[in-house]
Structure 1
């Protein structure tokens, strides 16, 4: 499993999500966006509908009979019904290897020290695991910069 840590310092994770989701879908991935609660699901849903008036990002919130048809599913569990191979983790947790994702994008708010501390703990725990490739991306003045 490949895990990318995305340290969001210039924009909130929810504002970063649409561009990453578009790239993932264009690359042929099925995507699960992991959120923490219904309010966050609504916020993510709103952003995905409104981030660009000239584009359409097909998605749905988990809990309907159409979950399996969604190329991008917003869910509070990593056990999405849309056969996603890429997860975007926005609730401070990472999926276990049994979830079957090939790639995970872990978005975290770099302006919240508690969140940064939790991300560091995840990084440390993952750095010792076999079969897990991790990378660290930070928002710079000219876009995302790979730093580790």
Structure 2
């Protein structure tokens, strides 16, 4: 029997999504997992796509976008839909995208900008709803040095 999906909230205060997402995706691939990055709209998906090609001079993260040829083969798939065509184990929710059904994933990452009041309130509501439903939750925030610390 598969364990419940872990849902981890990442409260971005000192770093932007562009800074944090590539590192989390690298760690996901290092685990041998595939990932789905769910963006709120096509413009955001395009910006994430570009960032994953350019975030480091000496590396890139292998990825594609839903609708591209062979999307199901991609280790990282950027999408706006709630599908999991690449059989990913990790789901990344950005910009308040819909969470949808999480049972197909081992871990879900909800990344939100703590400097944006709307995003912060949305994350708090999402936490309360998931907590009440008995979800397996964790809350991560950055230390003053920029390291991630589990706070709940």
In the TM superposition, what whole-angstrom CA distance separates every residue of 1:85-111 from its partner, at most 9, and x where no partner exists?
A: 11010031323245x111100000011
Q: Give the ranges of 4+ consecutive aligned residues of structure 1 lying more than 6 Å apart after TM superposition.
A: none
1:23 is matched with which residue?
Answer: 27
Equivalent runs, 1:1-148 vs 2, <5 Å:
1-92=5-96, 93-98=98-103, 100-130=104-134, 132-142=135-145, 143-148=147-152
SS class of match (2:48): helix
Q: How many residues align?
A: 146
Provide the C-alpha distance between the structure 1 equivalents of 2:55 and 2:20, rounded to a whole number of angstroms: 10
Alignment TM-score, normalising by the size of structure 2: 0.91
Alignment TM-score, normalising by the size of structure 1: 0.93
Using the TM superposition, give the Cα deviation of residue 81 of structure 1 relative to its aligned residue in structure 2, in angstroms. Answer: 1.2
Gapped regions of structure 2 (runs ≥ 5)? none
Using the TM superposition, give the Cα deviation of residue 14 of structure 1 relative to its aligned residue in structure 2, in angstroms. Answer: 2.7
Q: Is the 8 A contact 1:5 1:136 kept in 2?
A: yes
In the TM superposition, what whole-angstrom CA distance separates every residue of 1:102-145 from its partner, at most 9, and x where no partner exists?
A: 11000000110111000000100111223x21000011222111
SS class of match (2:126): helix
Q: Is the 8 A contact 2:63 2:78 kept in 1?
A: yes
Q: Is the 8 A contact 1:15 1:47 kept in 2?
A: no
Using the TM superposition, give the Cα deviation of residue 56 of structure 1 relative to its aligned residue in structure 2, in angstroms. Answer: 2.5
Provide the C-alpha distance between the structure 2 equivalents of 1:3 and 1:112, rounded to a whole number of angstroms: 21
Provide the C-alpha distance between the structure 2 equivalents of 1:56 and 1:46, rounded to a whole number of angstroms: 10
SS class of match (1:136): strand
